[in-house]
Each structure stands twice: as structure tokens, then as C-alpha cells.
């Protein structure tokens, strides 16, 4: 067992046993949990504590876009106690996709080799982190916390909201050949090597479109994509930043990429980037 392996928290080891059921193909990963925030002061302290409670030995990076409520200041106060906690301060609100792109860049520069995406608002349960990370450690390039695989659920949503989200997912999957049930999901793990292969810095979209574009590029390079069931709940504290323009951006981009793919002009990886 390597030195990195020995630093795995017990919860991750346990999840590996459950997920692996034998002698899993272990690859050590040094994980950075990236949390984008805009005005998440009501949630961030409990979120950071829950992340640390579930994964004892990961880095945590909060990417804050100048939140007027002082989210970043609070994170800095908590950093010594939580440990391996960093804040990337950006001047102004620039979107979820760009926050993740900057977070990944920071993490790659600091030597992390797997990245978790998680919202600060508890829609994504930090208790699922060990299972998601274990799937990446067992060899997946991308792990998606999925609402639409068996065992996944969205208990708070009305049937018509579920139908809209599910329909959007089916449309994206069919247009782009994703073979993924929940390509808009934002609770994920990426291997750093995959982020490089998909040239993540040039991903254009934000919001749902960002998640779909990352999935599309991952599929195009032949990544191992694994979906793990999660329960997705609505935020209780703070305000949603979701907007109609995020939904229409995703719809427009999926239609454009799908049309380009049909005529053989879809996004192409750099030579040599193809995996699998």
C-alpha cells in the first residue's frame, strides 16, 4: 500500500469494500473537493464541517465570487480548524462553470489528481462523498451522482419538474450520444488526467450546460463514466442562483452540438487524448 493510500479516511475504505466486493483495482487519488459559492453564508460552515467529517483527508477549495454576504471571510476564519481548506477569491459573479474551471486549474497546479464538484446548499449530501470517491479510486474517470439510475431520487420535486429535468436529460443524451442518465447532475468526481484530456479550460458553458459539455467531452475521449445513485434535495437556506437563461443556454448548446455531431463536426479531442 502506498503512502497516499494510507491516508485514506476509514469511510472511503469502507465504501470501497461495499462497492468493490473483493480486491478492487486500487489507484491512489489525492482528492480536492471544490465548492463554488455565491452568498452561501447560511450554509457554508455546516457544509465544510460535513465534508470534513465524511472525508478526513481531502483538500477543500471554496471558489467564491465576491459574495456580498462575506462567505469567503467566514471560510478563512474556519480554515485553521477544518484543515487543508483554501479559498479562491474571484472579483465578481462569473458563473458556476467558470468557477469550476478556475478551481480545477488551482487544484492541478497544487498537485491534486481527483476533483469533486459539490454545491454548497446541501442539495448534494456530503455523506455520499465516500461512495463517489471510491468509484473514482476504483478506476472511473468520471463519477456522476445520479438522480436517474436505480436508487437515485428527488424527493422534493413535483412530477412536472421531474419530467422537465428527465426530458432534458433524455434530449441531451440522444442528441450527443452520452449514454448517461443524468448529464445535468452537478455532484461529481473527475480525475485530473481526464480534465487535461478534455481540455477543460476551453469548455464554454455555465450551469447545466457546463455539466453536459463536460459529459459530452468525456464521452468523446472514451472516458470511463460511472453513475452512482444519490438523493437530490432542495436547498433550505439561502437563495437559488438558477435562472431561465441557464436552462435556455443548455438547450441552445445541446441543439447546436447535436447538429454539429450529426454532420460530423462535433467537438474533437486533441490527437492522443483518446482514452480506453
Ligand X SMILES: Nc1nc2c(ncn2[C@@H]2O[C@H](COP(=O)(O)OP(=O)(O)OP(=O)(O)O)[C@@H](O)[C@H]2O)c(=O)[nH]1
54 binds, among ligand X, Mg ion, none (CB under 5 to 8 A by kind): none
Give 9 or 238: the residue with its C-beta nearer to Mg ion.
238
Give 15 or 253: the residue with its C-beta nearer to ligand X.
253
Give 8 or 122: the residue with its C-beta nearer to Mg ion.
122
Give 14 or 239: the residue with its C-beta nearer to ligand X.
239
Helix axes 96-109, 207-220, angle to 10 degrees: 50
Closest of 177, 156, 270 to residue 225, by C-alpha: 177
CB under 5 A: which stretch of 80-88, 92-100, 114-122, 213-221 binds Mg ion? 114-122
CA dihedral 80, 83, 84, 90 (to 10 degrees): -50
Distance CA 136, CA 26 (A): 9
Contact between residue 34 and residue 104 where contact means Cβ atoms under 8 Å apart? yes
Contact between residue 85 and residue 62 where contact means Cβ atoms under 8 Å apart? yes
Q: Shortest Cβ distance from residue 211 to Mg ion (Å)?
A: 13
Q: Shortest Cβ distance from residue 21 to ligand X (Å)?
A: 33
Contact between residue 126 and residue 12 where contact means Cβ atoms under 8 Å apart? no
Give 131 or 184: the residue with its C-beta nearer to ligand X.
184
Site of interaction with ligand X (CB under 6 A): 36-38, 40, 63-65, 93-96, 99, 119-121, 123, 235, 240-242
Give 63 or 203: the residue with its C-beta nearer to ligand X.
63
First to last CA, the chain: 26
Distance CA 245, CA 203 (A): 18
CB under 5 A: which stretch of 62-70, 119-127, 156-164, 206-214 binds Mg ion? 119-127
Q: Shortest Cβ distance from residue 202 to ligand X (Å)?
A: 19
Q: Does 123 bind Mg ion (CB under 5 A)?
A: yes
Q: Does 117 bind Mg ion (CB under 5 A)?
A: no
Among 113, 117, 121, 227, binds Mg ion (CB under 5 A): 121
Which x/- pattern over 231-250 shows residues binding Mg ion (rule: CB under 5 A)?
Answer: ----x---------------
86 binds, among Mg ion, ligand X, none (CB under 5 to 8 A by kind): none
Distance CA 207, CA 242 (A): 8
- Give the residue nearest to ligand X (CB): 240
Helix axes 159-176, 207-220, angle to 10 degrees: 40
Which DSSP string corresponds to 165-186?
Answer: HHHHHHHHHHHHT---S-TT--
Binding site for Mg ion (CB under 5 A): 119, 121, 123, 235
Amino acid at each position: 500500500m502506498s503512502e497516499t493510500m494510507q491516508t485514506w479516511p476509514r469511510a472511503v475504505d469502507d465504501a470501497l469494500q461495499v462497492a468493490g466486493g473483493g480486491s478492487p483495482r486500487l489507484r491512489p487519488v489525492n482528492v480536492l473537493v471544490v465548492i463554488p459559492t455565491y452568498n452561501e453564508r447560511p450554509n457554508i460552515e455546516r457544509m465544510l464541517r460535513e465534508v470534513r467529517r465524511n472525508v478526513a483527508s481531502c483538500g477543500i477549495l471554496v471558489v467564491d465570487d465576491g459574495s456580498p454576504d462575506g462567505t469567503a471571510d467566514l471560510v478563512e476564519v474556519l480554515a485553521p480548524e477544518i484543515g487543508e481548506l483554501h479559498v479562491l477569491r474571484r472579483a465578481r459573479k462569473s458563473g458556476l462553470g467558470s468557477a469550476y474551471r478556475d478551481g480545477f486549474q488551482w487544484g492541478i497546479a497544487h498537485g491534486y489528481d481527483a476533483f469533486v464538484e459539490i454545491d454548497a446548499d446541501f442539495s448534494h449530501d456530503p455523506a455520499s462523498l465516500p461512495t463517489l470517491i471510491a468509484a473514482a479510486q476504483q478506476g472511473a474517470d468520471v463519477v456522476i451522482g445520479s438522480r436517474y439510475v436505480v436508487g437515485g431520487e428527488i424527493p422534493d420535486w413535483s412530477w412536472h419538474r421531474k419530467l422537465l429535468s428527465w426530458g432534458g436529460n433524455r434530449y441531451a443524451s440522444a442528441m450527443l450520444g452520452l449514454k448517461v442518465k443524468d448529464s445535468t447532475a452537478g455532484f461529481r468526481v473527475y480525475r485530473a488526467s481526464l480534465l487535461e484530456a478534455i481540455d477543460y479550460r476551453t469548455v464554454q458553458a455555465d450551469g447545466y450546460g457546463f455539466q453536459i459539455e463536460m459529459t459530452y467531452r468525456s464521452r468523446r475521449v472514451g472516458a470511463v463514466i460511472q453513475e452512482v445513485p444519490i438523493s437530490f434535495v432542495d436547498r433550505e437556506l439561502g437563495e437559488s442562483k438558477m435562472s431561465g437563461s441557464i436552462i435556455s443556454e443548455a438547450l441552445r448548446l445541446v441543439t447546436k452540438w447535436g447538429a454539429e455531431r450529426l454532420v460530423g463536426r462535433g467537438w474533437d479531442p486533441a490527437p492522443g487524448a483518446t482514452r480506453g
